[in-house]
Structure 1
Amino acid sequence: MVSRKYLSETALPELHGKVRKHIFEEIKDAKVISFTTDIWSSDVSPMSLLSLTAHWLDEGFEPHSAMLNATNFRGSHTSDAIAASLKEMFEKWQIPQSKVHVVLRDNASNMRKAMDNMGVRSVGCVAHTMQLVVNEGLLSQRAVSDAVACGRQIVGHFKRSPLAYSRLQDIQVQMNMQPKRLQQDVKTRWNSTYYLIESLIEQKRALSAYSADHELPTTPTANQWALLEKTMICLEPFEEFTRKVSSATASTADVVPSVTVLKRLLSMETEADSGIKTMKKSLLAAVDKRFSTVEDEPLYALSTLLDPRYKDRFFTSADSAKRGKDALAKELEEDLRSTTDGAAKALEPPGKALRVEAAAPALSSNKSSSFMREFDKIRGEREEEPGAASSSSSAVQLHGYFTEETIPTTDDPFKYWRVNRQRFPGLAASALKYLCAPCTSVESERLFSTVSTILDEKRNRLTAERAEMLAFLNKNLPVMLKAELEKLEKSA
């Protein structure tokens, strides 16, 4: 057998170099790339890592993503230090600033200032903003936080005591219930608090039976149980929102429609709202505050307009939709001037839209959920009426595109542009750029989850360079193997 030294000092660097070369060639061919970045500090080692992941669409509108770096980040986390480290990463990968479409970051001031210092466009992570919304609008309320704290003590009791859990499991079996563990939450992830409440409500009968014979650290009152149930109802659309924008296929185009649907659901009054109207109002106020400028952000506006599932149907402000269309028309005119045959193609009247095959739904939940029903409802009630088209080349494409019906929300927007790019060449070029950007920095956080399994208590002396190599291979080796398999299939 080969030695550990050979594996770590010879085999690992050789394989890393091969995969890096493959990723380098793919990135070199990309016209525009979006990035995510974040900083992570290890709990088992005095090490901080600065991540960089890349996301782009190829000429065939196939989405690609790759981990580029998880570099050791020493010293103070100042904006200048972050900017210098990111610039060094871009130089190593030979990525010019003209290729950088946008960088997704967290909402920390040092990150925001670092992007400004670099002169690149950046936006905050939508999931981080939603964390602030829920904490500010609901979990900061004293009665709710007390009820959640009570539930947290109960979950902690069963987490720490195997005997207590086995007793609870016996009660679940006696009640013909599926044995399930209670979910622990993390304060920095509001949706984990939602899952904690959901698991407590689901096991309410079993917990009541347990408390009759055994001691619990605390017992929720009837009012607290009712409050937890109402809180779960309030947070349900937020949980769907978070899952939608955090999925691997989500893009910046999903932000404006998701916020619009969320606002609509919070402003609706139903029979189930008895006792939670104040909660919904506080959450709606927090959403309005944190997402007040989302429709005026050019990145979100243009990507939403270029997504054939949404177009201009989800803008709550007519002025915002008009500004977005004007910005898109201006960009389209500039692109058409830079191409020799683009104007001629654009002057051709658009033909009939070609149908694309439906893709898997973005959410794994039931299609009949209120969140997804509201998506289809808004899409249907705002279909654009046909009007007179201008004779300008860009206006011909815009008129043809916006007067057509939106495709179903379960369809794949990339397939749409793959099929219809000959009809709307200018718009397709813009879609290639704007639809490649994710709306959260979740990919960087998933990368850090991988690093945390590599750098654990039993390998806490692993160097940052070695940890980065292992994470790089974990993320990118399957990408290279898949590409090589496709080449073999084509040659066969």
Structure 2
Amino acid sequence: MAVPSHFLDSKGIQQQRLLALTRQSGAHSGDNLATTLLRVVKEWEIQDRIGTLVSDNASSNDTCTTAFFRQINPVFTKTDMIERRMRCYGHILNLVGKAFLHGEDYETFEEESQRQNSSDTLPADLRLWRQQGPVSKLRKIIKFIRSSPQRSESFKILAQETDNQDDWLLHEESTAELQLTLSNDTRWNSTYLMIDRAIKKKNHIQSFLVQFQLSEGEGYGISAQDFLTAEDWRLLAELKAVIEPLYFQTMRCQGWGEKGSFGYLWEALSGMEFLLEKLEDWKLFFDEPGDDATTQSQVHLPCRALRNGRIRGNQSARVRSPELNTQALPLHVQEEFSLGPPSVAARLNVLSSDSRGYLRLSITNAWQKLNEYYTKLGESPLFAAAIILHPGRSLRWLETRWNTGDQLAWLRDAKEGLEGYWTAWYRDQANNQSPPRSESRPQKLRAEREDSEYGQWLGTDLIRLRNGASDATELERYLRLELPIEIDNPITWWMDRRQQFPTLSTLALDLFSIPAMAADCERAFSLAKLTLTTQRLAMNPETLEMVQCLKNWLRRDAINLGGIYFTPVTSADDGADL
């Protein structure tokens, strides 16, 4: 088990430390994971400093979170524990990418089968397409080339011969120098990188296959049926375009963060909003139009829910033309589709109906998987709170996104969730450490007013206004600010306002130290693999842990080996130096 910690130092700079890389004994059940995690936390004596746990979406981690928080703070309710369980944004993106490329969902099949009246054949057809479609063909070809040193060398030589670049490129690689990338089953983005690289080397791949078949003969290597057709290459280009936003979201949020951005909690909810909108645009674009002469097809997008099954309004549009209907798309998407030769509409119009149908089904699969975890984010108020307390986003960002129907209830829940969490764990605890505030009204002001009933009423109203202004909470005063504002670093903004918002700033800074992903756990395992080579397989697990922790602390400037000095100590027994 890798246990990294994230926090802000006294200067507001994000810090990350590897606390442990320890062996997990027994089954990887939630209770066993919690026992190991609790032991690590007790060794560091930070039981009272734990804010949240960030982990992937495995059910065992749900159990681990509950068992862990129950032991370090027995007063926590079940709701308190769920609120502090942060879901890894990277793991969600990985599941969405796999759902797009490989996923099979019964409800999606049922929905599409009703549309196409092919309930018995659609699942089998989709599986066959994914097994024998362009992505599978591409992977077979690349694996065939890379599996032999001779074929790899031949491909490299051919790429250099067919490359059109006559001049040396000092600022970038030529396409001939780029190597083919093979996908793996662990990370979906390896498939994206494989497709992206193959599109850049399309001419090289096609030339190699033709030349290899001519030299080796038919029936050897890649058969003609596995060659990528012009339709396959067009479909690969559209697959890449659809999943490209997922890839860039992964790359943006997997880091350690910089100035409160690029990998911190507020980017999870906003990023998922962005991706859901993108998928909805693509889904609408790929919906099969009806026949004008017979019927008008009603395109019905799935509903988006944030929490407790609440529906985020149905979105629909009528498609009247058998051609792709760009008018049904939002204006910014229409502009995007019309840019540059050839436009997206022109490219997609040449795709076969089968290809468009499979793309639509894959997009729906990805949408449903993303929406499933979008709903789960509502279990904790901290995802929305991180956006509200970001002065560059604030509550107005959510008001812009959630502005109709049941979405207005989301705003209320977001504000109440933030206020409840801040009141319970920050404001009330701070107030308990200081003398209680006097709630008595100043009577002297009323005596100075005229004795008439009207005069007394005016005086009482003035007192009420003054008390209302002084009794406004920190959260109320923050929400009254003219936000959002242009800001580079929200952490610096809150550090400068700690006196103005003493408890709310503490919550905000805590939120801005929470990473959006649990990527540091994966990094710890990957770096340990470089240490535990085939020549060091007998290394003691405790030694490996100490080495990896020291590496992490050195890279993070937590320790300075040059400042450590060893003084010889003489034993009283034998005089030997120890």
1:259 is displaced (CA, Å) by 0.8
Alpha-carbon distance in structure 1 between the residues aligned to 2:373 and 2:27: 29
Cross-structure match for 2:384 = 301
Deviation digits for residues 141-200 of structure 1 (CA, Å, limit 9, x no counterpart): 533453222212222223222222222222322323431111122212011110011111
Paired residues of 1:129 and 1:290 also in contact (CA < 8 A): yes
Within the candidate set 257, 276, 291, 2:270 is matched to: 257
SS in 2 for 1:468: helix
Cross-structure match for 2:253 = 245
Does the C-alpha gap of structure 1 residues 456 and 281 become closer, same or farther in structure 2, counting only changes over 3 Å? same
1:459 is displaced (CA, Å) by 1.4
Paired residues of 2:90 and 2:517 also in contact (CA < 8 A): yes
For structure 1, which segment, 305-314 or 195-204, has the greater mean C-alpha deviation from structure 2 after superposition? 305-314
Does the C-alpha gap of structure 1 residues 399 and 73 become closer, same or farther in structure 2, counting only changes over 3 Å? closer
Deviation digits for residues 396-445 of structure 1 (CA, Å, limit 9, x no counterpart): 422334x322335xx22222223333443332111122111112110100
1:394 is aligned to 2:474: yes
Cross-structure match for 1:133 = 96
1:208 is displaced (CA, Å) by 0.9
Cross-structure match for 1:205 = 203
Alignment of structure 1 residues 181-220 onto 2, 5 Å: 181-215=179-213, 217=222, 218-220=226-228
SS in 1 for 2:54: strand
| Aligned AA (1:322) | R
Does the C-alpha gap of structure 1 residues 451 and 441 become closer, same or farther in structure 2, counting only changes over 3 Å? same
Report the aligned-residue RMSD: 2.8
| Aligned AA (1:213) | Q
Paired residues of 1:389 and 1:396 also in contact (CA < 8 A): no
Cross-structure match for 1:108 = 58
Alignment of structure 1 residues 479-490 onto 2, 5 Å: 479-480=556-557
Cross-structure match for 1:93 = 44
Does the C-alpha gap of structure 1 residues 483 and 390 become closer, same or farther in structure 2, counting only changes over 3 Å? farther
Cross-structure match for 1:473 = 550
Does the C-alpha gap of structure 1 residues 56 and 395 become closer, same or farther in structure 2, counting only changes over 3 Å? closer
Larger radius of gyration: 2
Alpha-carbon distance in structure 1 between the residues aligned to 2:208 and 2:364: 36
Q: Percent identity?
A: 21
| Structure 1 portions without partners, runs of 5+ | 1-49, 345-387, 487-492
Does the C-alpha gap of structure 1 residues 156 and 342 become closer, same or farther in structure 2, counting only changes over 3 Å? farther
Cross-structure match for 1:236 = 244
Within the candidate set 482, 485, 496, 1:406 is matched to: 485
SS in 2 for 1:214: helix
Deviation digits for residues 94-146 of structure 1 (CA, Å, limit 9, x no counterpart): 111x3211111122222221221122532332221222222223433533453
1:343 is displaced (CA, Å) by 11
Alignment of structure 1 residues 343-422 onto 2, 5 Å: 392-401=472-481, 403-407=482-486, 411-422=488-499
Paired residues of 1:61 and 1:415 also in contact (CA < 8 A): yes
Alpha-carbon distance in structure 1 between the residues aligned to 2:28 and 2:493: 43
Cross-structure match for 1:167 = 154
Cross-structure match for 2:229 = 221
| Structure 2 portions without partners, runs of 5+ | 70-80, 104-125, 166-173, 214-220, 258-262, 282-328, 338-343, 349-355, 438-467, 564-578
Alpha-carbon distance in structure 2 between the residues aligned to 1:258 and 1:450: 28
Alpha-carbon distance in structure 1 between the residues aligned to 2:56 and 2:37: 15
Within the candidate set 417, 420, 439, 1:327 is matched to: 417
Alpha-carbon distance in structure 2 between the residues aligned to 1:432 and 1:87: 25
Give me the TM-score of the superposition, normalised by structure 1: 0.72
Paired residues of 1:257 and 1:310 also in contact (CA < 8 A): no
For structure 1, which segment, 389-398 or 160-169, has the greater mean C-alpha deviation from structure 2 after superposition? 389-398
Paired residues, number: 390
Cross-structure match for 2:26 = 75
